[in-house]
């Protein structure tokens, strides 16, 4: 464990030196965190798929009911520990109806110094449990207008804006999944926010998403294949990354270290390291059981990558540069 901490520390030293250097591949641009407009250069080491809190498994509710003290007692001390490992930014993937509470996120960000990026969109996985009834009645344009409005004017009467669009597919590609994805494309075209699409092991959904992107003349680089790590088809991952889609290996836990290292190695061999995002799909408060942590990428995966010959530049690419390129606000036309 001491060795892990030491390796993490050396890595962090490297990253802090790096951030002072002008790197020619550094993208310009911005994103919104719950603190406001943020220069993309400030994103730092980022976890691109976590849940600060969510109501997963509980009933859908637009106004999330959390026992007010509990998120604070559990989340704030935990986030302080995560921050001490060098994590600068967390993309919170909890959508509206699934537990998004931007005021609470802002308070948590204020108390911890963690940059938190929240989202717009609807989560159409989990058997559409968190899709509001109105989405079935509304047109694609009407749905996108709600999401664009959040980007332009803020969420729930605050000036807190989303930094990305969260969407989801269940098995295959149902009508509501495709409809919401199309609304996501319209929102992307109007705002430049990237779409993070819960897809998992679902080649039909990937195909459907790529077809729709083409219809709307939007580049595959506008989407993140969320939970791509659930698929066993490495060839499909590589082919899809070659088309430009961001591949999110985002279910990391320490027992999976070897699997993740060999998979990341494969992307490196194919010169596709620049399309990979890493995260845990952790959850620091779900209202019922223990938190699902999100430190292991730093404490276990980074040291293992280094032992397997990954350079500091390559690790910087995975944890700092790729999140910036994936999520900076920009319309990505074909």
Tell the residue number behind the tokens 């495709």, with chain if given. Answer: 178
Backbone angles phi, psi at 40, to 5 degrees: -60, -25
Residue 250, interface with Zn ion (CB under 5 A)? no
Residue 93, interface with Zn ion (CB under 5 A)? yes
Q: How many residues bind Zn ion (CB under 5 A)?
A: 2
Q: Considering only CA atoms, which of 34, 54, 144 is closest in space to residue 95? A: 54
Considering only 20-28, 70-78, 85-93, 152-160, which stretch makes contact with Zn ion by CB under 5 A? 85-93
CB of 56 to Zn ion, least distance (A): 8
Q: Considering only CA atoms, which of 145, 150, 62 is closest in space to residue 100? A: 62
d(CA 264, CA 276): 8
CB of 235 to Zn ion, least distance (A): 25
Give the other-Cβ count within 10 Å of 162's Cβ: 27
CB of 102 to Zn ion, least distance (A): 17
Give strand pairing partners of 37. Answer: 32
Mapped onto helix, strand or coil, the DSSP state of residue 226 is: strand
Positions in 280-299 near Zn ion (CB under 5 A): 281
Q: Per-residue string for binding with Zn ion, 101-140, x by CB under 5 A?
A: ----------------------------------------
- Give the nearer residue to Zn ion in terms of CB position, either 93 or 320: 93
Q: With contact defined as beta carbons under 8 Å apart, do 282 and 291 qualify? A: yes
Quick one: CA dihedral 257, 261, 267, 272, positive or negative? Answer: positive
- Give the nearer residue to Zn ion in terms of CB position, either 11 or 122: 122
CB of 18 to Zn ion, least distance (A): 28
CB of 93 to Zn ion, least distance (A): 5
Positions in 264-283 near Zn ion (CB under 5 A): 281
Residue ranges that bind Zn ion, judged by CB under 5 A: 93, 281
């Amino acid at each position: 464990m001491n060795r892990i901490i030491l390796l993490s520390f050396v890595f962090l030293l490297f990253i802090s030196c790096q951030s002072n250097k002008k790197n020619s591949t550094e993208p310009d641009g911005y994103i919104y965190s719950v603190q406001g407009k943020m220069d993309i250069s400030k994103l730092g080491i980022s976890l691109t798929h976590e849940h600060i809190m969510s109501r997963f498994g509980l009933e859908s509710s637009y106004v999330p009911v959390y026992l007010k003290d509990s998120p604070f007692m559990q989340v704030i001390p935990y986030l302080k520990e995560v921050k001490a490992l060098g994590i600068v930014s967390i993309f919170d993937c909890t959508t509206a109806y699934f537990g998004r509470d931007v005021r609470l996120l802002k308070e948590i960000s204020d108390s911890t110094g963690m940059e938190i990026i929240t989202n717009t969109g609807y989560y159409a996985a989990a058997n559409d449990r968190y899709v509001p009834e109105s989405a079935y009645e509304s047109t694609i344009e009407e749905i996108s207008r709600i999401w664009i409005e959040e980007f332009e004017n803020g969420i729930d009467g605050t000036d807190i804006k989303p930094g990305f669009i969260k969407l989801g597919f269940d098995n295959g590609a149902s009508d509501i999944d495709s409809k919401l994805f199309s609304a996501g494309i319209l929102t992307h075209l109007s705002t430049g926010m990237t779409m993070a699409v819960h897809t998992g092991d679902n080649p039909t959904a990937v195909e459907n998403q790529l077809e729709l992107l083409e219809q709307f003349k939007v580049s595959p680089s506008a989407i993140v294949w969320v939970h791509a790590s659930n698929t066993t088809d490495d060839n499909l991952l590589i082919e899809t990354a070659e088309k430009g889609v961001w591949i999110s290996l985002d279910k990391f836990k320490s027992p999976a270290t070897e699997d993740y290292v060999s998979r990341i190695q494969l992307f490196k061999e194919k010169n596709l390291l620049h399309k990979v995002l890493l995260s845990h799909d952790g959850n620091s408060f779900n209202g019922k059981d223990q938190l699902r942590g999100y430190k292991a990428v730093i404490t276990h995966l980074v040291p293992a990558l280094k032992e397997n010959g990954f350079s500091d530049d390559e690790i910087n690419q995975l944890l700092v540069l790729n999140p910036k390129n994936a999520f900076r606000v920009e319309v990505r036309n074909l």
